[in-house]
Every structure is written in C-alpha cells, then in structure tokens.
Amino acid sequence: MLKCCLTLSLAVCLGASGLDVEEKETIQKTFNLAAAARELRIDNIDGAIHVAGQAGSDIEFVIEKTLRAESREKIDFARQEVKLDLSQKENVVQAYVDAPWRCRDGGINYRGWRFHGYRVRFDFEVKVPPSTRLFLRTVNDGEIRVENTAGEFDIENVNGGIEMTEIAGSGRAYALNGKVRAVFSQNPKAESFFGSLNGKVEALFREGLSADLLFKTFNGNVYTDFPVTSLPSRPPISERRDGKYVYKSDGFFGVRAGNGGPELKFDAFNGNIHVLKGQK
C-alpha cells in the first residue's frame, strides 16, 4: 500500500552563487511492508539521509527536493534530467536518484553546476521498523545519520560523515572524506567494518564486549579503554601470478576484547581510531 503527498514552492534568489532561481518540493510517501525481512535502499547523489527506527510495519518518507539554477529554463531542464524513483518490490523499498552524470557502473561523473547550469538536492527523512536492513549511499553535501535500528547495514558517504546512534545491528560503514561514529545499544553479533580515508573513526560499545578488534591506520593512532590482549600476527595473503605465488599483508593488527568473538575491523588512513566504552 502506498500513500503520497506533494507540495511545491518557487523563489527567485538574488545571490552571488550564480544559481539565482530556486524551487523547493516536499515529497511524502508511505510504504507498508508485511514481510518480516524488510529492506530499505537509498542511492542518493546530493543531500543528506536520516533514518530512524520506529514501531510498526511502515516505511515513511519525507523528502525535501531543492532545485537551484541559473534561470527558469534551467529549472525546467533540471526537473526533466534529474529524477527520483521511489518503488517497492516485495519486501524491498528503494529510493534511487538518477541524473545524466550517473555512470553505468554506478559511479558519478559530475562536472559541476557551472557546466550544467543547475543543482538538484534531495534530503531524506525516513522512519523504518527497527529491524529493517539498510543500504544507504550519498555522494555530496550531506551527512548520513541512523538511529534506533537493529538491522544489518551497509552505509557509504563520499564527501560527508556517518553518524549512527543506539544501533544494535552489524555491517559496514565507510566515509571517504568524513568522520564515522557508531554508538551501539547492543554489541554486534557478526563481522563489521568501520572506515574512512580522511576522517576519524569512533565506535562506542557496551560493557562486556567480546570481539576480535582489527585496526589499520597510516597517519593516525589507535585508542581503546577496553581491556584487551594481543592477537597473533595475521598470516600473509597468497596470490598466484604468472605461475608464481605472491604474498602480501592486509596491514591490520589485532587485539582481543573479552573472550573474543565477531571480527570488528577499523580502518582510518589519515585519522585516529577510537574504540571506547559507551555510557550505561
């Protein structure tokens, strides 16, 4: 079942950016998912994503769409070229932003608003059942925030940060040029990864954490206030090339918290890694 609401406003902005015409649109949609294994996929380009868990079986969207352009004609052009597809297939709800700079392999080849004459931004506010599996991605000009969820997650932000609070699932969170912070209400029960190229990585777990913690950083330091013991060095990875075996290290070093358990990886190339005890 799908419920939909749409509002629209137009303004002329006399600013110095060169994008003098602005149009705002609010999109509201609700999907009802009866299946227990619910899944949400958001593949955004410009804008923020905020997902919060709530009781019930609905996935509720409130999306703020902002178009800015050099002229009224460019606004019309932007509306035709940049599309948001909201769809449901069985237990999966997907929000996909398509644009001329989307590549077939899923990459982005954006040449800037000065080339196209416009910018289009989508900011997502989404409520989901707490156990919903999450696949979230955005590229520019927005943070990704997740709170009060317990499902698996796969989250990626290129030019912004990721913040997760009161989560109880496991998965992957990576921000290329931003900070990653995860606060757990229950310690993860399965393998997880948290990483950033140019930002700090911070994870707060509950007392009694039992896990194998693996760290890698090139220009940063690693801190933890959990009691840990060292793990043996990881064996090199072998790869056969031209009839010969090549051995290489993955660069991670490990410690064990508690009695060990799921493998939790932390990778911050140019930042520090903090693995800390969260508040009770």
- pLDDT tens-digit series, residues 99-130: 887 776 666 766 555 667 788 999 999 999 99
Look at residue 14 in the predicted model and tell me its pLDDT: 38
Quick one: three-class SS letters along the chain?
CEEEEEEEEEEECCCCCCCCEEEEEEEEEEEECCCCCCEEEEECCECCEEEEECCCCEEEEEEEEEEEECCHHHHHHHHHHCEEEEEEECCEEEEEEECCCECCCCCECCCCHHHHCEEEEEEEEEEECCCCEEEEEECECCCEEEECCCCCEEEEECCCCEEEEEECCCEEEEECCCCEEEEECCCCCCCEEEEECCCCEEEEECCCCCEEEEEEECCCCEEECCCEEECCCCCCEEEEECCEEEEECCCCEEEEECCCCCEEEEEECCCCEEEEECCC
Residue 135 banded pLDDT, cuts 50, 70, 90: very high
Look at residue 169 in the predicted model and tell me its pLDDT: 95
pLDDT at 91 over 60: yes
Read off the pLDDT of each residue in 266-279 and give the average, rounded to a whole number. Answer: 94
pLDDT at 151 over 80: yes
Residue 21 banded pLDDT, cuts 50, 70, 90: confident
Between 77 and 147, the more confident residue is 147
Q: pTM of the prediction?
A: 0.88
Percent residues over pLDDT 90 in the chain: 69
Look at residue 193 in the predicted model and tell me its pLDDT: 98
